[in-house]
Amino acid sequence: MSPTLAPDGAARPAPLPVFQYDDVDSPGDVIDTLLLTDFVTGRQPWARTVRLAKVRPGAALVPERATAIRTAVERTRVARLATGDGWTLRVVTWRGRGAEVTVTAVDEATGAAVLDEIVTASAEPARPGTAPIGFWHQDQRRGAQRDNRRIDTPPWSVIRPNYPAEAAATLDALMATTPETVTGRLLLMHGPPGTGKTTALRALAHEWRAWCQVDCVLDPETLFGDPSYLAEVAVGEDDGEEGEERTRWRLLILEDCDELIRGDARATAGQALSRLLNLTDGLLGQGRRVLVAVTTNEDLARLHPAVTRPGRCLARIEVGPLSHAEAVDWLGARAGVPAQGATLAELYALRAGTATAGAVPVEIGGYL
């Protein structure tokens, strides 16, 4: 909004935007509204928002030279509004969920400098043995959101003994995959609960860290039910530097998706299966370096044939319990190990001295 001209030709400041009281639901919303004032009028035409998944303990998210304008303390968040020379800052912090920092400024150089200062001083340093993983979810107010967090990613060589020989050999080949050897876009991993499927995927993030960015979709049923959300996730967000050519692959992890890929999926899940296949090797996936990993408790024989057809899958891996001999070797003792073997979770329970019922059949579709 540019300045207006008075009848005498003199410039007058642009009028302030008008907001109705009903437009806001909380004091934090008032801060959101006030932040927009200089941006809407054009006095500060540059704006950028950064999400910090973890904040260094005791970090000051508002520079000392800033002038505090508003502070709104709510049950789940604290919002602050501050101003400086040519810039305005909004900081929202959530208990245990990091922070969101928005800066508006008179130009990019001014705003970027303030934002970089805050991020550099506040971001939690990377811990050894961790990697950044994005977590997607659909927000009712803001649409598709991606939060970046660092999680433990063990090297494959450290956790390999946790898997039965046949699964470990298949995982060996998967861990050694490179961009040049990608032959399919879908990774299927199935097996009973407690066999280490999620841990194997965390190790995959470690082994592929040089060429593949890993994201986890928290609401896959919403993803494949909302075309706009799916399109946003398919495009993705880069963890690299701004302006850097997007050359890295992305791995989308969808956990516990039995109903999405079982044999009757088209009847029970509607268009969800079709959209999954379109993301992996259909038009939606063209030009996107996207791999999709699906974990399930279903037996592969019960999956939809369109999912398992040759050429679509990068790998199909069954992760089952360790055999009796493998379980004894892992535990270092025979006491308590069932004759039929045991899952990794049961072995950890035995090591901790917790009673276990042994590797009993579980209902398909149970929690991973």
Q: Above 70 in pLDDT, residue 188?
A: yes
Q: So what's the pLDDT on residue 16?
A: 52
CA distances from 275 to 195, 230, 272, 279, 333 (A): 29, 9, 5, 6, 48
Q: Rounded mean pLDDT of 254-277? A: 67
Q: Above 90 in pLDDT, residue 297?
A: no
Class of the CATH-defined domain 132-139+145-240+247-318: alpha beta
What's the pLDDT band for 102 if we cut at 50, 70, 90? very high
Q: Rounded mean pLDDT of 90-99? A: 82
Q: Rounded mean pLDDT of 220-228? A: 87
The domain segmentation of the chain, as residue ranges, is: 12-125, 132-139+145-240+247-318
Quickly tell me which residue has 């001014």 as its tokens: 110
Q: Above 60 in pLDDT, residue 266?
A: no
**The pTM of the whole model exceeds 0.85:** no
Quickly tell me which residue has 């995927």 as its tokens: 201
Q: Above 60 in pLDDT, residue 7?
A: no
Quickly tell me which residue has 């502070």 as its tokens: 71
- Select the more confidently predicted residue: 363 or 37: 37
Q: Above 80 in pLDDT, residue 223?
A: yes
Q: So what's the pLDDT on residue 265?
A: 47
What's the pLDDT band for 281 if we cut at 50, 70, 90? confident
Dump pLDDT digits (tens) for 13-51. 555 555 554 555 667 788 888 888 889 989 999 999 988
**The token pair that represents 48 in the structure block:** 């950028």
DSSP assignment of 51-67 equals EESSB-TT--SS-TTSE
**The token pair that represents 365 in the structure block:** 């579709």
- d(C-alpha 188, C-alpha 172), whole Å: 15
- Select the more confidently predicted residue: 152 or 17: 152
Residue 48's SS3 state is: strand
Percent of the chain residues past pLDDT 90, beyond the cut: 44
Q: What is the DSSP letter of 368?
A: -
Mean of per-residue pLDDT scores for the chain: 82
Q: Above 80 in pLDDT, residue 301?
A: no
Beta carbons within 8 Å of 299's beta carbon, 6+ residues apart:
190, 364
Q: So what's the pLDDT on residue 34?
A: 87
Beta carbons within 10 angstroms of residue 211's beta carbon = 14
